[in-house]
Amino acid sequence: MLYTTAITALLALPGASAQLNKLAKAAGKLYFGSATDNGELSDRSYVNILSNTDEFGQLTPANGQKWEYTEPSQGSFSYTSGDQIANLAASNGQLLRCHTLVWYSQLPSWATVNSGSWNANTLTSVVNTHISNVVGHYKGKCYAWDVVNEALNDDGTYRPNVFYNVLGDSYFALAFKAAAAADPNAKLYYNDYNIENPGSKQAGVVKIVKLVKAAGAKIDGVGMQAHLIVGSTPSQSQLQSAIQSYVGAGVTEVAYTELDIRFSSLPPTSSGLTQQANDYSAVTKACLAEKACIGITIWDYTDKYSWIPGVFPGQGDALIYDSNLNKKPAWTSISSVLAAAATGEATTTTRATTTTMVTSTTTRGSNPTSCTVAQWGQCGGQDWSGCTVCAAGTTCQAGNQWYSQCL
Ligand code: G3I
């Protein structure tokens, strides 16, 4: 019944090229979202796309809620940057993922000086004060909080940082308890990178989830950042295995929280863009296949504002819109996978050989005709062997050589 209602609503939508969130919701997910940052909000064209709730149903502040911004000096709180993005999400009607409370990076100098500045009592008080103030300020506004961020080394051992050095592994439960007390309704996440597929670090996350629960604290989710590399993205089955392990450890939901898939050398070739599209497709399919996966957030939606070139010089082009705010093949592949799920079609494997835009569909020549593709569904593209007949009121329009859609 719910499914029928969702599809009916979907079919009633006007044709639109902004649709990732709409399709994700129709496919049963909570949102498709994007990170954003304060400096970009003066770019009107950028904000127009960001604020389109057909495209993005959720925002994450990439910086503004971090400790160095929210408590720049001890006991003195500032919410200007975080509020700007929280207010934008609220006025757009978008969910807010709040990011992040306890992280070794982007700490103000007073908190980092060195571990010797603190003892267990003083640092416990510092953590409690920070979390109760910040989470309290945003109470009722955050769908979720990334409570602890990047606490693991790549081998799955605990990262030595001021919190671990002074408090040992008790700081996890401390942080989750403080966050739950300050906003009982926010979903509380552990968030990290390189935990998207099974391995030592993923096992470390399982351990943290169990540790927090054993201490009697609430932990709702695991955030898989998913800063991935084109051609090295885990397979769909690996991605699903990791998700299943987190659910098995006791969280009720997971999300891809910072997805981007970068090229390790630039510029990308057309086959590279195809590979990137397929890599994005694998992540989207994994999320769709696992009920516990509630949504996908990309770490900003355009190459124009990606963090990657600043940290990995010579790498990048990791997002789904290019620097001129044009959609890339990865956008189309995500849209295609979501549309197939939303309309109940079998998910197709995208096989692109070029990214050149064409104006007509290219199909295999033996496509069935006693069928109808609903609005948003795939109706053509290179090697497409499925139905090419669009539902009344829609026409088959080429997005690119390998994907056409009933719009
Ligand atoms: O705000 C200052 C500005 O005043 C100054 O002029 C400018 C000069 O460099 O720097 C600005 O601060 C920068 C800040 O982003 C805001 O733009 C910092 O230098 C820069 O280091 C910082 O980078 C952020 C990075 O986290 C820091 O670790 C990225 O924007 C942000 O996207 C990135 O996000 C992290 C997640 O929080 C956690 N997971 C990994 C992810 C990517 O690194």
Say whether pLDDT at 88 is over 50: yes
Pick the residue whose CA is nearest to atom 37 on ligand 1: 62
Per CATH, is 17-347 categorized as 3.20.20.80? yes
Burial class for 403, CB neighbours closer than 10 Å (0-12, 13-18, 19+): buried
Is 263 a residue whose pLDDT tops 70? yes
- 48 alpha carbon – ligand 1 mean position (Å): 23
Specify the residue with its C-alpha closest to ligand 1, atom 9.
310
Spacing, Cα 347 to ligand 1 middle (Å):
37
Mean pLDDT throughout 70-91? 97
Name the residue at shortest CA distance from atom 27 of ligand 1: 106
246, pLDDT greater than 50: yes
Testing ligand 1's pocket by substitution, the residue of 38, 63, 146 carrying the most ligand atoms inside 8 A of its CB is: 63
Contact indicator for 29, 342 with CB cutoff of 8 Å = no
- What's residue 297's pLDDT? 99
Model pLDDT for residues 350-367, shown as the tens digit of each residue? 333 222 222 334 455 577
Q: What is the DSSP string of 113-169?
A: S-GGG--HHHHHHHHHHHHHHHHHHTTTT-SEEEEEE--B-TTSSBPP-HHHHHHTT
Averaged pLDDT, 6-29: 69
- The stretch 67-93 carries a mean pLDDT of 97
> pTM for the full model?
0.86
Cβ partners under 8 Å of residue 306, min gap 6? 260, 262, 299, 300, 316, 318, 319
What is the overall mean pLDDT for the chain? Answer: 89
- C-alpha–C-alpha distance, residues 172 and 188, integer Å: 12
- pLDDT (mean) for 4-24: 60
- Please write the tens of the pLDDT for every residue from 382-391: 667 788 999 8
Residue 124 tokens read as 């416990």
Would you state the pLDDT for residue 258? 98
Q: For residue range 19-73, what is the model confidence (pLDDT) as tens digits? A: 999 999 999 999 999 999 999 999 999 999 999 999 999 999 999 999 999 999 9
Q: Which residue's C-alpha comes closest to atom 6 of ligand 1? A: 39
Q: Average pLDDT in the 238-266 region?
A: 98
Residue nearest to atom 5 of ligand 1 (CA): 39
Query: What residues flank ligand 1, with Cβ below 6 Å?
Result: 37, 39, 62-63, 105-106, 149, 225, 258, 307
Distance 392 CA to ligand 1 centre (A): 48
Q: Which of 348, 339, 359, 345 is nearest to 400 (CA)?
A: 359
DSSP string, 260-326: EEEBSSSSPPHHHHHHHHHHHHHHHHHHHH-TTEEEEEESSSBGGG-SHHHHSTT-B--SSB-TTSP
What confidence score (pLDDT) does residue 360 get? 36
Query: Per-residue pLDDT tens for 317-354?
Result: 999 999 999 999 999 999 999 999 998 864 433 333 22
Question: What does the pLDDT average to over 217-226?
Answer: 98
Please write the tens of the pLDDT for every residue from 274-317: 999 999 999 999 999 999 999 999 999 999 999 999 999 999 99
Which residue has better confidence, 222 or 9?
Answer: 222
Cβ(367)–Cβ(387) under 8 Å? Answer: yes
CA of 37 to the centre of ligand 1 (A): 9
By most ligand atoms within 8 Å of CB, the mutation choice from 307, 312, 315 for ligand 1 is 307
Share of the chain above pLDDT 70, in %: 88
Using 50, 70 and 90 to split pLDDT, how confident is the model at 381? confident
> Do 61 and 36 touch, CB atoms closer than 8 A?
yes
| pLDDT digits 0-9 by tens, 171-181 | 999 999 999 99
pLDDT at residue 357, as a whole number: 28
Question: What's residue 349's pLDDT?
Answer: 36
Nearest alpha carbon, ligand 1 atom 4: 39
CA of 139 to the centre of ligand 1 (A): 25
What tens digit of pLDDT does each residue of 99-114 get?
A: 999 999 999 989 876 5
Instruction: Give residue 63 CA to ligand 1 midpoint distance, Å.
Output: 6
The arithmetic mean of pLDDT across residues 158-164, rounded, is 96
Ligand 1 atom with the smallest distance to the CA of 299 is 32
Tell the residue nearest (CA) to atom 31 of ligand 1.
62
Token code pair at residue 399: 């997005």
The answer, yes or no, to whether residue 153 has pLDDT greater than 70, is: yes
Distance of CA 149 from the midpoint of ligand 1 (Å): 15
Assess contact for 130 and 66: CB atoms under 8 A.
no
Ligand 1, residue 105: give the atom nearest the CA: 28
**Catalytically annotated residues:** 150, 258
Of ligand 1's listed atoms, the one at least distance from the Cα of 100 is: 37
Question: Does 267 sit behind a cis peptide bond, omega within 30 degrees of 0 on the bond before it?
Answer: yes
Helix axes of 200-214 and 170-182: crossing angle, nearest 10 degrees: 60
Instruction: Identify the pLDDT of residue 397.
Output: 82
